[in-house]
Structure 1
């Protein structure tokens, strides 16, 4: 990861840490003063006419985790004396079907309820907060809850000032979360437009689904739609969960390239789509206890599928899968706390209630890092591929024995040089040379020494010519050297230097001794309007005239047809 990417990761990580602290008060110093809470052994719809037995005492801190129940749940509450009016509210905004009864008298056998039933009240900036009741202390109350959602919440008895302070803390945490999610969605949306990678599309969809889920879970939609029914909010919450499942599956499929790398797992993930769709339908047409349990199973199945595919990808060497595995592990930890508290297997508290949201925030950051790491990896792979392509492309123009350019390069480069010379009016010359008596040398000393002779020749040429003048092996022992911006006189001087340098540099043989090598060179200078083929043909003619004249010489093909040795 680049230094810039690490800096961005640090910023997002800091925001996630602040979010974890700010989602709500981790520990509130609530003045309980001997408050008592007990779950009653009664599940009727009407107020009990006789005092039911207490099934069990609940936490002295008012933390309730009773799991799912298809029947009404009753809780007996005894509030100790306090010096000023207080409010009672339930920390879970989904528990809007809540009724509070005050017990004025008790004869030991029956309940005589003189006060009318008090329904939950929503007022002021707490309109989206929680079920809220005005209470007197001391006092004895019955709380009736009837909901398809998990019975997990904290009963808080606070003053008006404390209530608003808690509400502000709650909104701060939610603002941090949604700011984080929307920032990531915007950033990755821009990357989607630039990179056209559908992994970013599904990641943004996942973020949007997460935001929708927690808007519903925390009751924040009621702020915009105060008249919205509880059933609608629950249906939207579960629909968001289905959206998250589909988006997460698609993101994982695209990110891990499962269709190509792991087709069996890919087909399994595609098979989960209809299950999420069925769940969305159930949320609207058959809301209730069974649908919540269905979504619990689907969520568990989706998370296991994503974790399993990430592990498999990591084992087959997909490096970026480690970020994906870490991200989904954070969400799984949060989801596990949610599921365990949903079924009453984990005590209710800040981390069991908001753990899923904190896990979602951490997962969103880590998934963004996974995408950044994947882009970095793909860029490095692309650069390596381009470098390899360039190397192979270069090799296709290089003679494997001598290391100089080959015939293919000459066929492409010479017409370009001729066109440039025609456009600029500058001279262009060509040297074609051939090792003298090379067949005899090859037959006498063997092919290995013949190869070394060709390599020796090219080494001599490299010592004489400029770096910008390409040496091309034309075939066998023949070589061609295009000389840009060199006229006939300059080209003949270079040809003579090559001839003399070779004659003065005997080849050291592998078995000892040395062999004298000579070459014959034909030189031609391009004439106005002359093509590459015509120029090459004139240099070849000059070469063969030199061979017929006795070899070991340079011959110029003059424009008037006379050759100068």
Structure 2
């Protein structure tokens, strides 16, 4: 039932996130078809040496072979190539040229390293170009409006007959859309998308702080690994989505440059968490080697980031991002089938992450269309994963407690079996000896508060020889039943020999014990054995009673009880004798 609830929550959150992001996209595009990619042209510059002045000089020639794009989304994938994009304002509604200063031009991917925008402005009878800079390569000098991805406010008097040029470079994926939207309608998009992302990051941070408290309470490193994973994954996702720019624009831009380092650190914590949670060395020892390899790759990735080789680090991050969920999922399933106590929430969490990471990687490589949903799918899934992993930790505690209780119950049952006489159901000689040993440790405290009786069936050997051992067993069971019926729950009835029983009485004096012994004798004498065999005579017992005295050892006390029993048998049987007194 809980699994269905969690899956329902996940689906609900994904629908909510999808509704918000799709709604945000629709809000941008519903007013008019202002997606630049449908009418734009693009040029691939592998060398990165083409400059804008050279581009303008050959604008009216075929020196640069621009290609028509023809679709809404630019999907250039992972490449070092520089891409030039151009379009004219008159390709769209004339309203843009008339009120261009009320429009925004946006690139809907925050991972763009550099955007150089060249916009033609009509200045009297002359056209001049104004440059706008965006992306995290230009910290502090951007001309962006301060949103999570590059957004530029268009200037007045755009020349509709001249091309608007955009030069795009990125060490990350270059899959994005370019759109034109009125500024008044864009604010709603901003609020919707920020609300969605804030909801997800809020859930992640809440789970992180909750498990940090559990770490300090339980001192279990597993919780620390979880907190480390969620912390660095949150930093990575907040950098990738650009939401940190809304808090501090320059800080967000700097973190975007080094966000891959957070990715590799998050992967290390995820592996440490899996190592501890799954207990890899014990259940999936062969998985140690790919884990060790992953640690090495993450170390190389961090060094590449710090040395400025983000492009190659990004390639490693895509490799690890794809391999890690697959490794964790297969390892968890393998350990589960080998008997490891693994919460189903952990398996669901890794399955969710694996699915969305594959979609994200395919989007990054250009095989899956870029949109706000595919761009933020991993963010949503990591939010879900943080909740599921937290549930997995709690469920693991529950499962361990359940198994511990079952083990304790089995141990109790085994102890009971080892301490119980299988024929009569009362305790056996081992239990009796253990009880006396415990009394030996507490003799001072138990003086005058404990008593012992010995019960022996009269002429039992003759009974067995006459009627057979099966009928003798019936008599033993009947006596045990009478004893249990007449003693208290705290007292301990034991079969200590063939036909000999003992009862240890706690918190009682010798006189009351003698009265109980007499009831046992009388009730057993009245027991009807005609259902066993019609000619069986009345069976009786002899009982010896002794209370533990001051300054008396356990051995002496047991000896007095045995002596009282001997006296009961010697004086005619079928009677109760209290040690040191006449026949009861």
Answering whether residue 49 of structure 2 is matched by residue 40 of structure 1, we say no
Q: Distance in 2 between matches of 1:170 and 1:34?
A: 19
Q: Is the 8 A contact 1:23 1:172 kept in 2?
A: no
Q: Is the 8 A contact 1:503 1:516 kept in 2?
A: yes
- Which residue does 1:74 correspond to in 2? 84
- Which residue does 1:109 correspond to in 2? none
Q: Is the 8 A contact 2:464 2:472 kept in 1?
A: yes
491-500 or 324-333, which moves further after superposition? 491-500
Match for residue 540 of structure 1 among 547, 562, 575: 562
Change (3 A) 1:443 1:265: farther
Match of 2:552, SS? coil
Match for residue 119 of structure 1 among 128, 133, 142: 133
- Which residue does 2:67 correspond to in 1? 55
Match for residue 521 of structure 2 among 483, 492, 499: 499
Answering whether residue 425 of structure 2 is matched by residue 403 of structure 1, we say yes
Match of 2:573, SS? coil
TM-score, length of structure 1 as denominator length: 0.86
Q: Is the 8 A contact 1:337 1:353 kept in 2?
A: no
Q: Is the 8 A contact 2:28 2:181 kept in 1?
A: no
Q: Is the 8 A contact 2:79 2:173 kept in 1?
A: yes
Match of 1:550, SS? coil
What is the Cα deviation at residue 211 of structure 1?
0.7
Match of 1:564, SS? coil
Q: Is the 8 A contact 1:184 1:368 kept in 2?
A: yes
Q: Is the 8 A contact 2:322 2:361 kept in 1?
A: no
Answering whether residue 540 of structure 2 is matched by residue 518 of structure 1, we say yes
What is the Cα deviation at residue 152 of structure 1?
1.5
Change (3 A) 1:514 1:217: same
Answering whether residue 111 of structure 2 is matched by residue 94 of structure 1, we say yes
Aligned length: 551
Change (3 A) 1:154 1:369: same
Structure 1: 5+ residue stretches without partners: 106-111
- Which residue does 1:151 correspond to in 2? 174
549-558 or 356-365, which moves further after superposition? 549-558
Q: Is the 8 A contact 1:279 1:295 kept in 2?
A: yes
365-374 or 181-190, which moves further after superposition? 365-374
List per-residue Cα deviations over 1:505-562 (Å, max 9, x = no partner): 254586775354222211223433434332221111111122233333222222xxx5
TM-score, length of structure 2 as denominator length: 0.83
Match for residue 331 of structure 1 among 353, 375, 380: 353
- Which residue does 1:216 correspond to in 2? 239
CA RMSD of aligned residues (A): 3.4
Match for residue 530 of structure 1 among 535, 544, 552: 552
List per-residue Cα deviations over 1:360-394 (Å, max 9, x = no partner): 22222222232233222222222222222232333
What is the Cα deviation at residue 137 of structure 1?
6.3
Match of 2:479, SS? helix
Q: Is the 8 A contact 1:523 1:557 kept in 2?
A: yes
Q: Is the 8 A contact 1:307 1:325 kept in 2?
A: yes
Match for residue 186 of structure 1 among 202, 205, 209: 209
Q: Distance in 1 between matches of 2:176 and 2:502?
A: 88
Match of 2:192, SS? helix
List per-residue Cα deviations over 1:48-106 (Å, max 9, x = no partner): 242423323142x4x3221122121111122233231123221222324111224579x
- Which residue does 2:280 correspond to in 1? 258
- Which residue does 1:388 correspond to in 2? 410
Match of 1:514, SS? coil
Q: Distance in 1 between matches of 2:246 and 2:180?
A: 23
Q: Distance in 1 between matches of 2:70 and 2:533?
A: 100
Match of 1:150, SS? coil
Q: Distance in 1 between matches of 2:508 and 2:130?
A: 111
